C-alpha cells in the first residue's frame, strides 16, 4: 500500500474526501466529498494486473453513474425548494437520492459491481472497500432513510442476497464480498431504529473484517482450497480464523453477537418483529458458509513433507493478529450487561 509515495498521497486524499462529505452542511458539499473520495480510490485500485485494471474500471463506471443520479437529485431538490442545506427531500427526490447512495454502497439488488471489484482487487484494497468506503454513503443515507416499503425491500434483499450468494463460492474474496452485502443489510436495519445502533454494528463489523482480511493477506490466501495447505504447526492461524469468523457471523457468546443483538432489540422495539425474525433466520446461512471455510481446514489432517515444512516466525504482525483474535473470543461477557 505504501510502496510508492503517490499511494500515500491518494490514501490521504481518500480520507479527506470522506471527511469532507460527512462534515459538510449541504448536499452539494457532500457530493464533492464523495467525488474526491472516488477519484482518490481509482489509482489505488489500478496497477499492472489486468484483473485490477478491470476492477478499477467497473468501480469507476458504477460510481460515476451513481454520482450522476446523486447530483441530479440535488439539482431537482434545488429546483423545487431553492435549498442546498440538509433537509429531507420529497418522496421522488429522496427515492433517487437513496438509489444513488445504495449503488455506491453495493446494496442488493444494486450489488452487481461489488463482487467483481472485490475479486480483482488486492486484500488491502478490499479492506478499504469493505469498511472505509461505506462510511460516507451510510452517513448520508441516514439523513433520508426511514422505514417504508422501499427500505424494507432493500434490507430484505441485501440480507438474502448476501446469504445465498456466498453459498456456491470458492473464492475467498467473493465470499467476503457477499458477507459484506449481508452485513450492509443489517446496517441499514440499524438506520431505521437509531443512529447509535448502526454505528456500533459498523464499528464491530469493520474491526472483525479488518482482522480476517489481514490474516488472508498475511497467509496469502485467495481460494477455498488453499485453507488445507496453511503452514500452521500449532494451529494458531486456524484458531484465529475460527474465532473471527464465528464472531463476524454473530454466534453467541462471541462479541460479534453484541451488535446484532442491538439491531434485533431495536427492530423489536419499533414493531418490526418480522424483519428481525427474517434477518436472524437468514443469518444462519451466512454462518453455514463461514463454517464451511474453516471446518475442513481444522478437521481434515493434511500431510506436509519435511522439506516443505517451515518453522513459524512470530513477528509483531502476528502479535497484532493474535490480540485481534483474542478480542473476538468470548472473553468479554461484560458487554452483555449493558443491554
Residues 215 and 126 in one domain: no
**What nine digits make up the cell of 210?**
479488518
pLDDT band per the 50, 70, 90 thresholds, residue 321: low
Per-residue model confidence as pLDDT tens digits over 50-95: 889 999 999 999 999 999 999 988 888 777 765 555 555 566 778 8
Single out the residue in 123, 145, 167 at which a domain terminates: 145
The pLDDT mean for the chain works out to 83
- Residues sharing a CB contact under 8 Å with residue 145, sequence separation 6 or more, in sequence order: 98, 151, 188, 191, 192
Find all residues with CB under 8 Å of 32, minimum gap 6, and list them. Answer: 20, 21, 24
Residue with the larger pLDDT of the pair 177 and 339: 177
One domain for residues 39 and 174: no
> Do 111 and 181 touch, CB atoms closer than 8 A?
yes
How far is it, in rounded angstroms, from Cα 18 to Cα 13? 9
CB atoms under 10 Å from CB of 323, counted, come to 10
Q: Check whether residue 191 and residue 86 sit in a common domain.
A: no
pLDDT in tens, 229-257: 776 655 667 777 788 888 888 888 788 88
Taking the C-alpha atoms of residue 107 and residue 274, their distance in angstroms, rounded to an integer, is 20
How many beta carbons lie within 10 A of that of residue 168, not counting itself?
Answer: 8
For the segment 200-213, what is each residue's pLDDT rounded down to a tens digit?
999 999 988 988 89
Task: Tell me which DSSP letter residue 223 carries.
Answer: B
**Shared domain check, 263 and 136:** no
Residue at a domain's end among 92, 125, 145: 145
Indicate the residue among 145, 164, 184 that finishes a domain: 145
Q: How many CB atoms lie within 10 A of CB 54?
A: 15
Contacts of 77 (CB under 8 A, 6+ apart): 27, 83, 87, 89, 93, 97
Mark whether 135 and 276 lie in a shared domain.
Answer: no
Q: In this structure, are 155 and 203 located in the same domain?
A: yes
Q: Please give the tally of structural domains in the chain.
A: 2
Verify that 67 and 27 share a domain, yes or no.
yes
Same domain, 185 and 100: no
Claim to verify: residue 53 and residue 83 sit in the same structural domain: yes
Residues 73 and 217 in one domain: no
Residues 82 and 170 reside in one and the same domain: no
Residues 140 and 155 reside in one and the same domain:
no
Statement: residue 333 has pLDDT above 50? no
Full residue range of the structural domain in which residue 331 is found? 148-339
pTM of the predicted model as reported, rounded to 2 decimal places = 0.89
Amino acid at each position: 500500500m505504501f510502496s510508492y509515495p503517490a499511494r500515500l498521497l491518494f490514501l490521504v486524499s481518500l480520507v479527506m474526501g470522506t471527511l469532507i462529505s460527512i462534515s459538510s452542511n449541504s448536499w452539494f458539499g457532500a457530493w464533492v466529498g464523495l467525488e474526491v473520495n472516488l477519484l482518490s480510490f481509482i489509482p489505488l485500485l489500478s496497477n499492472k494486473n489486468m484483473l485490477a485494471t478491470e476492477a478499477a474500471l467497473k468501480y469507476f463506471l458504477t460510481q460515476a453513474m451513481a454520482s450522476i443520479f446523486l447530483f441530479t437529485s440535488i439539482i431537482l431538490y434545488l429546483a423545487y425548494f431553492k435549498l442546498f442545506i440538509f433537509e429531507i427531500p420529497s418522496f421522488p427526490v429522496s427515492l433517487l437520492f437513496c438509489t444513488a447512495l445504495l449503488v455506491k454502497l453495493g446494496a442488493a439488488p444494486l450489488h452487481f459491481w461489488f463482487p467483481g471489484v472485490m475479486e480483482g482487487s488486492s486484500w488491502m484494497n478490499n479492506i478499504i472497500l469493505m469498511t472505509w468506503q461505506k462510511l460516507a454513503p451510510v452517513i448520508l443515507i441516514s439523513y433520508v432513510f426511514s422505514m417504508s416499503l422501499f427500505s424494507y425491500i432493500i434490507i430484505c434483499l441485501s440480507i438474502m442476497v448476501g446469504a445465498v450468494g456466498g453459498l456456491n463460492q470458492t473464492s475467498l474474496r467473493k465470499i467476503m464480498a457477499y458477507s459484506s452485502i449481508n452485513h450492509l443489510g443489517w446496517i441499514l436495519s440499524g438506520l431505521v431504529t437509531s443512529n447509535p445502533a448502526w454505528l456500533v454494528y459498523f464499528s464491530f463489523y469493520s474491526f472483525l473484517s479488518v482482522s480476517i482480511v489481514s490474516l488472508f493477506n498475511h497467509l496469502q490466501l485467495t481460494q477455498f482450497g488453499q485453507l488445507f495447505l496453511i503452514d500452521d504447526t500449532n494451529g494458531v492461524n486456524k484458531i484465529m480464523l475460527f474465532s473471527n469468523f464465528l464472531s463476524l457471523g454473530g454466534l453467541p457468546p462471541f462479541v460479534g453477537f453484541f451488535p446484532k443483538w442491538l439491531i434485533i432489540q431495536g427492530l423489536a422495539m419499533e414493531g418490526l418483529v418480522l424483519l428481525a425474525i427474517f434477518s436472524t433466520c437468514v443469518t444462519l446461512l451466512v454462518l453455514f458458509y463461514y463454517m464451511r471455510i474453516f471446518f475442513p481446514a481444522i478437521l481434515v489432517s493434511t500431510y506436509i513433507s519435511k522439506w516443505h515444512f517451515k518453522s513459524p516466525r512470530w513477528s509483531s504482525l502476528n502479535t497484532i493478529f493474535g490480540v485481534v483474535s483474542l478480542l473476538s473470543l468470548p472473553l468479554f461477557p461484560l458487554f452483555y450487561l449493558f443491554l
